[in-house]
Amino acid sequence: MTTTEAPGAYLDHAATTPMSPAALEAFVAEAGRTGNASSLHSAGRAARRVVEESRESAAAALGARPSEVIFTGGGTEADNLAIKGIFWGRRSQDPRRRRVLVSAVEHHAVLDPAFWLAGHAGADITLLPVDGEGRLDLDALTDELAAHGDEIALVSVMWANNEVGTLQPVREVARIAHRHGVPVHTDAVQAVGQVEVDFAASGVDALTVTGHKLGGPVGVGALLARRDLPLEAVSHGGGQERGVRSGTLDVAAIRSFAVALREAVDARGERATALADLRDVLVAGVRRVVPDAVLRGPAPDATTPSGDMARLPANAHFTFPGAEGDSLLYLLDSAGVQASTGSACQAGVPQPSHVLLAMGVEETDARGALRFSLGASSTRDDVDRLLEALPGVAERARAAGLVSTRPGGVA
């Protein structure tokens, strides 16, 4: 039995992106070898060598020290380790540290463990507001820290939003939080490979990255964490990875992840420019063929006060008035165009995006959302195929929406 890539235009790279040939080759090569990286015999030592070389490579690509790289089973595990591990570590030092500050537009891999702590470990969660483009309100963060600094365990603000592509002021967040002695975690899953991500230069204390967003395999990632950061284990067993992430290391996945990460970081400058150019064609085209579609997040050419880009180069997120996102998605899929209603982890859930609601988008408008995300394999043909299909798809989705709101209509 053979497998082939799905036909048509794939515009959902933010959910997962194809493995690069180099990463796939590395994975296959390591998967054919035997050896537990915790074993002391020669096969085990060879596996350990691969892991440590991969750790050094990942650290160099992200501006970290090798000892700061903790391999995990992906971004969700890394986020859980950061939110729960830092909370428990800080609270063990000072029982007053019960508050957790997270932005209102975080991925559920951050929001859900935070609210789990509220329900099971006595945490108090504060959702930090954002503006209409999804950018964190730094004044709100400053006020929370000034009022409750001695009670705050950690702050978590993502580097780049997975739905609307907004880049957050991570360096400013770290600078403000550190005035009060509060550590900062950032989920950089969407940012790595698209914008410069330097762990040391950013000032954050912990950072999440995953493999399958940048050309590596699913099921592997890392949490970068400062050595002096209080971090309690979430899983227990063999004591691997600094004792905070037990479990037999997946040597093949780790090696493949390191190769993909190095490749993505090295190609970032040229690739980001090409992706931004293609995204601009996509944005202009969508506005032309569906004039009332609304781009969400910063404008493609928007910059921050410091002069940096305000939006990921590969992201275009629209809402389509009068249409349901799920209808748009399935109709596009039938036309050979694969996109997303937002976070892949929420696909199929009939509720509007919490990100859009936090940005002040009305619920009826938020239901008509589509995210188009580009990657290394994206082409102008992909965009052209979308633009050819989209007008008819939008018309049919709106018609379906009208039928579902009539008495006796089918939703």
DSSP characters over 1-59? ----PPSSEE-BTTT--PPPHHHHHHHHHHHTS---TT--SHHHHHHHHHHHHHHHHHH
Residue 405: the pLDDT is 47
Phi and psi, residue 128, nearest 5°: -80, 130
Residue 1 has pLDDT above 90, yes or no: no
Number of other CB atoms surrounding residue 179 within 10 Å: 12
pLDDT tens figures, 388-398: 999 999 999 99
In sequence order, which ranges of 67-156 are alpha helices (DSSP H)? 75-93, 108-120, 138-148
- Segment 208-227, tens digit of pLDDT: 999 999 999 999 999 999 99
Task: Supply the pLDDT for residue 408.
Answer: 46
DSSP 150: G
Average pLDDT over residues 112-122: 98
What is the reported pLDDT for 201? 98
Flag whether pLDDT at 343 surpasses 80. Answer: no
Give the model's pLDDT for residue 10: 98
Q: What is the DSSP letter of 359?
A: T
At 350, the pLDDT band (50, 70, 90 cuts) reads low
Distances 339 to 8, 13, 196, 315 between C-alpha atoms, Å: 11, 9, 25, 11
Q: What is the pLDDT of residue 304?
A: 87
Question: What architecture is domain 269-405?
Answer: Alpha-Beta Complex (3.90)
- Report the b/e string of 255-290 with b at 16+ CB within 10 A: bbbbbbbbbbbebbeebbebbbebbeebbebbeebb
Is the pLDDT score of 345 beyond 50? no
Residue 221: beta bridge partners? 72, 210
- Mean pLDDT across the chain, nearest whole number? 94
- To the nearest whole percent, how much of the chain has pLDDT over 90? 91
Give the integer Cα–Cα distance in Å for 35 and 391. Answer: 54
Residue 234: what residue type?
V
**Two structure tokens written together for 365:** 């408008």
Does position 406 have pLDDT exceeding 50, yes or no?
no
Judge contact between 312 and 160, C-beta under 8 A. yes
290 and 393 in contact (C-beta within 8 Å)? Answer: no
Query: In angstroms, what is the C-alpha Rg of the chain?
Result: 22
Q: What residue spans define the domains of the chain?
A: 21-265, 269-405
Q: Are 309 and 195 in contact (CB under 8 A)?
A: yes
| Residue 280, amino acid | D
| Phi, psi angles (nearest 5°) of residue 341 | -85, -5
Residue type, 403: V
How far apart are alpha carbons 175 and 164 in whole angstroms? Answer: 25
With a cut of 60, say whether residue 109 has pLDDT above it: yes
Return the structure tokens found at 232: 């309690």
> In CATH terms, is domain 21-265 a member of 3.90.650.10?
no
Q: DSSP readout, 201-253?
A: HH--SEEEEESTTTTS-TT-EEEEE-TTS----SB-SS-TGGGTB-S---HHH
Task: Specify the amino acid at residue 341.
Answer: T
Report the range of poorest mean pLDDT among 2-16, 143-157, 178-192: 2-16
Q: Which helix (H) or strand (E) holds 283?
A: helix 268-289
Residue 65 predicted with pLDDT over 70: yes
Percent of the chain at pLDDT > 70 equals 94
Would you state the pLDDT for residue 222? 98
Burial of 103 (0-12, 13-18, 19+ CB in 10 A): buried
pLDDT in tens, 195-209: 999 999 999 999 999
The residues assigned a catalytic role are 345
Cα(74)–Cα(76) distance, rounded to whole angstroms? 6
pTM for this one? 0.95
